[in-house]
């Protein structure tokens, strides 16, 4: 065999070096994976890194220690379904339903409320060739209105940007108490379909009062699917599926939207977590959530994906003052920390939520940001991350917050923000340090007695030990101002309504709010679309 011409050796070596360098460059330029952990009803004060002392969240705290913690982040609404709509579409929920807005949780028979032609964060990633999955709570409807729950459950998550869906279709406190896998019922038997309103209803586990309310089942049939569904195993099941999916997709860029049922009522942690906190089942359910986060983070590490993965952790709204929440407060825990109010209401406790971001080498570890940020901003942020132009005609509410993740901008990226409660009349607007609420009270729940599942409003303020100048003895004062204005820079706890001290600011904020508010008569009656709580 003839020897290679010596003059060709340097050329071959150079080509080899170029090939290796090119391969390294391609590997280095692989798009980042994104894992969005979107939890349910977790309050601003429910994590150790946000001040909790009666429970322990070492895995989530480690995320904050290795990344950035935000102190002024908000869900688009103080209610689960509207906040999820805003997250996925990048639009304020007041724009949903053809402009009438979505204000409350969807009922059991709701069709899909996201138009399948609308851009979503799932589609943003799919446009760039990402594998996409939604695992966990959906609560945005299936099929056309009304949903009859017969398979296939289309349109659904797979029609708005997700290759794969598995999880709790509505909410863990309400039927049908089955899991959905892609567009079918998990454990589906064509000879035994789900029947809404059928008799006798199919059995599902129930829990004592201290776990808070779980509504009775409203479906018959699907006995095999109902046997599979287990509240106390749901967290483990979803986590195992997330870890498996990450491992299967490790060789391609992926986006995982992991929407946990924790810590929505009923509080049903796996038995190994019960009794592990100092604030009852409430804290125990947070402990299970922390374990779930730890397992997902560890799976990224085990698959060599940590350095090229952006992990985001946040909540769909603030904590709710249900039975377990009240027990936690009695034990010395404040679910929303120093913030006024609870889930469903537009006071800060209803929508200011934890937000933690980790991306080694890109986000400086152990940092904090006071940037005003909304979850609707993730649409524009993910568009920028994947180097795509955002369709401004649809996504006019979303602002690119990538600079707030990667750098430390000296100026605010967002200057105003619309915040929605359960009641349209209490729609609010934030501009700089000012928060204006267009009516008295929080616009959320107003239960006031121990047997009431849905405490909120003035009575909840009294129970939790917070203060507000409009409230005395658990009621709104008769001479309280007709609306509310708060200086959040100097009064984040909203102790003092300064409506009458700054009439010029009130007029400016009122006009700004009206520019966003749905036209008169378009809001409908929110109770007609009110679903499980």
**Residue 288 tokens, joined:** 């299970």
Distance CA 30, CA 128 (A): 11
The Cβ of residue 459 has, within 10 Å, a number of other Cβ atoms equal to: 20
**Residue 325 tokens, joined:** 């929440």
Distance CA 36, CA 133 (A): 11
Catalytic residue, chosen from 74, 134, 139, 226, is 139
Distance CA 178, CA 198 (A): 15
CB under 8 Å to 417, separation ≥6 — which residues? Answer: 74, 372, 374, 429, 430, 431
Across the strands, what pairs with 358?
311
For residues 321 and 88, is the Cβ–Cβ distance under 8 A?
A: no
**139 catalytically annotated:** yes
CB under 8 Å to 3, separation ≥6 — which residues? Answer: none
**74 catalytically annotated:** no
Catalytic residue, chosen from 80, 134, 147, 279, is 80
Handedness of CA 102, 106, 110, 112 (dihedral sign): positive
The three-state (H, E, C) secondary structure of 326-389, written as one string: HHHHHCCCCCCCCCCCCCCCCCHHHCECCEEEECCCCCCCCEEECCCEECCHHHHHHHHHCCCC
Angle CA(263)–CA(350)–CA(237) in degrees, nearest 5?
Answer: 15
Q: What is the DSSP letter of 147?
A: P
Distance CA 5, CA 14 (A): 15
For residues 355 and 97, is the Cβ–Cβ distance under 8 A?
A: no
How far is the CA of 217 from the CAs of 181, 227, 260, 532, in angstroms? 20, 13, 21, 12
Q: What is the DSSP letter of 216?
A: P
How far is the CA of 343 from the CAs of 211, 375, 429, in angstroms? 17, 16, 17
Residue numbers annotated as active site? 80, 139
């Amino acid at each position: 065999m003839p020897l290679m011409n010596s003059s060709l050796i340097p050329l071959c070596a150079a080509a080899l070096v170029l090939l290796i360098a090119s391969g390294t460059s391609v590997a280095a330029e692989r798009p980042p994976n994104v894992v969005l952990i979107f939890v349910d009803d977790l309050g601003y004060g429910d994590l150790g890194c946000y001040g909790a002392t009666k429970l322990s969240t070492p895995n989530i705290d480690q995320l904050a220690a290795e990344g950035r913690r935000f102190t002024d982040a908000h869900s688009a609404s103080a209610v689960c379904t509207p906040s999820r709509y805003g997250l996925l579409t990048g639009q304020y929920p007041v724009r949903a339903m053809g402009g009438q807005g979505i204000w409350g949780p969807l009922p059991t028979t709701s069709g899909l409320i996201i138009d399948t032609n609308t851009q979503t964060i799932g589609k943003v990633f799919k446009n760039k060739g990402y594998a996409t999955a939604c695992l966990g709570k959906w609560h945005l409807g299936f099929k056309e209105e009304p949903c009859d729950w017969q398979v296939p459950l289309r349109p659904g998550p797979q029609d708005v940007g997700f290759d794969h869906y598995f999880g709790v279709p509505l909410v863990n406190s309400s039927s049908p108490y089955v899991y959905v896998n892609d567009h079918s019922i998990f454990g589906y038997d064509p000879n035994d379909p789900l029947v809404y309103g059928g008799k006798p209803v199919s059995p599902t586990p129930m829990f004592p009062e201290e776990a808070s309310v779980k509504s009775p089942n409203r479906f018959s049939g699907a006995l095999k699917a109902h046997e599979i569904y287990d509240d106390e195993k749901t967290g483990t099941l979803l986590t195992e599926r997330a870890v498996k999916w990450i491992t299967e997709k490790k060789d391609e860029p992926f986006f995982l939207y992991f929407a946990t049922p924790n810590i929505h009522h009923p509080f049903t942690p796996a038995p190994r977590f019960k009794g592990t906190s100092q604030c009852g089942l409430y804290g125990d359910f947070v402990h299970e959530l922390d374990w779930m986060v730890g397992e997902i983070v560890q799976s990224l590490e085990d698959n060599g994906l940590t350095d090229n993965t952006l992990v985001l952790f946040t909540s769909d709204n603030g904590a709710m003052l249900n039975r377990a929440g009240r027990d936690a407060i009695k034990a010395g825990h404040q679910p929303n920390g120093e913030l006024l109010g609870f889930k469903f209401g537009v006071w800060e406790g209803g929508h200011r939520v934890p937000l933690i971001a980790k991306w080694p080498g890109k986000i400086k570890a152990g940092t904090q940001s006071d940037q005003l940020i909304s979850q609707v901003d993730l649409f524009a942020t993910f568009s920028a991350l994947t180097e795509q132009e955002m369709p401004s005609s649809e996504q006019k509410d979303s602002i690119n917050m990538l600079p707030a993740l990667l750098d430390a901008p000296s100026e605010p990226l967002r200057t105003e923000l619309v915040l929605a409660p359960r009641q349209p009349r209490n729609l609010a607007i934030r501009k700089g340090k000012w928060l204006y609420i267009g009516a008295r009270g929080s616009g959320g729940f107003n239960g006031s007695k121990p047997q009431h599942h849905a405490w909120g409003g003035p009575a909840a303020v009294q129970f939790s030990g917070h203060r507000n100048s409009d409230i005395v003895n658990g009621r709104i004062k008769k001479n309280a101002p007709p609306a509310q204005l708060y200086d959040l820079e100097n009064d984040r706890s909203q102790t003092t309504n300064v409506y009458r001290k700054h009439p010029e600011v009130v007029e400016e904020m009122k006009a700004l709010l009206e520019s966003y508010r749905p036209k008169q008569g378009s809001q409908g009656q929110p109770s007609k679309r009110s679903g499980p709580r």
